[in-house]
Amino acid sequence: MRDSCLIGLDIGTAGTKGLLVSPNGSVLAHAFADYPLHTPHPGWSEQHPEDWWKAAVTVLRELAREADGHRIVGIGLTGQMHGSVFLDERGRSIRPALLWNDARTGEECAELGRRVGRERLQKITGNPALAGFQAPKILWLRNHEPARFAKVRRILLPKDYVRFRLTGEFATDTSDAAGTLLLDLTERNWSDEILDAIELPRGWLPTVFEGPDVTGGLHEDAARRTGIPAGTPVVGGGGDNAASAVGAGAVGSGTGLVSLGTSGVIFVHSDKVKTDPAGAIHACCHAVPSKYHLMGVVLSAGGALRWYRDTLASEETSAAKRLGRNPYELLCEEAVPVPAGAEGLLFLPYLAGERTPHMDPNARGAWIGLSLAHGRPHLVRSILEGVAFALKDSLVRIQALDLSPDELRAVGGGMRSPLWRKILAATLDVPLRRLKVEEGASFGAALLAGVGSGVYESVDEAVVEAVHPLEEREVPDPKLVELYRDIYDRFTRLYPTFAAEGVFDKMTPR
């Protein structure tokens, strides 16, 4: 199938990204189309599903033009998780979709816990009730917009709405479905117990497939709009992090990834279901059939450094522009001479609240130990270290569940910084390895499409053929490991102290 190619389509929050990928992992073409994010009230986050569809058509049409003699044999879908798309009996969206970062459902999270039982919910789904997940959003629509709720006949996740428009099929995959709080993690299908408890008809939910399974073929209207042949297989795909893990080769025992984008992610593969009894770590299905993963999320990773750049680093930003340099590179280079530990300065990176392990939307960022001896390079170094410590918070809990990765694939824009990689490897005490081609979730989705369309026999074969790690690894420096172990011990005392005193809660505007 040398003349064949695959498409990975990522329905993100900022826009839709598409890749055209050859079976050997070469990226033949990129395409992107953006769309707006709507915040009609504080804490609300919405998008119009029709915007996703229009962007998907634009991206697919451009990739079809770029195929240039290559035959498109499969399409894989990925994208933002947890969102709620509500459709009527004719498949029309009845309101804007509620997104993963929508925070309006606090009361509905409590309601879900009462109806199902908090411990029972966590045992079935692997996760506690969180405002970002889908099930509380469904309850919110019923409680606050009953007229609209009365029209609902189907509920989909974002990427699966695009699937519906491409194929006419109502389908999802196990990894994305695991972020709804409606999936039985062990059975890898919808939980009748939860559906009965919240009085939700099973027929409103899509059929659940594994990541590489073919869920349908491109129908005639979608083919006409995109220029891709009718009948082209569309596979289950995966949630963004699970698809990214496939694209990074984190698909077997002892593997995982660490990502430094706007948020930070620790993702560790598991052959079996494992859940954190305290609910401090996300447990989900992998996009690899019958496999699972544990995941920690830091909401402000690269986002914390971006905040610093925009707020406090106007001089460095101007200098970078004059020199034709990336301002982040300049900031990190200035922090290199600062000793590890930033001479006693610690940073809490909770600028947008925090997900794992604290699950606290009211947590806030802070510098601790600031003195007249500290300059801007110290502030930057402390941000890099604080994010690394926050990621370690999650890894420690994952390791307590007998999952210790031998190596972590390093992805995301933050990994371009040699200093941040060095700090992270030493803090986590795990070797990091980057990839020759790093394209994220859309690349993994394309590989899943390759399995479903017969280009590869399995996800493992797809990774061997198409994922190419760099030979060099970032190996933890033993002296730095020991030093950061002591500093991390001090870091871990800060959040519990502030939380116990109600400091964050008192600082949150009412």
Q: Which residues have a catalytic role annotated? A: 240
Q: To 10 degrees, the CA torsion angle through 327, 331, 333, 334?
A: 140
Calpha distance 183→283 (Å, rounded): 11
Q: What is the DSSP letter of 206?
A: P
State both tokens at 50.
């029709």
SS3 for 101-136, per residue?
A: CCCCCHHHHHHHHHHHCHHHHHHHHCCCCCCCCHHH
Looking up tokens 């130990």 gives 369
Calpha distance 390→347 (Å, rounded): 10
Calpha distance 75→56 (Å, rounded): 12
CB-based contact 4:23 (threshold 8 Å): yes
State both tokens at 216.
């349908």
Burial of residue 307, with CB atoms counted within 10 A of its CB: 0-12 exposed, 13-18 middle, 19 or more buried: middle
Beta carbons within 8 Å of 447's beta carbon, 6+ residues apart: 6, 8, 21, 76, 246, 247, 456, 459, 462, 463, 466, 467
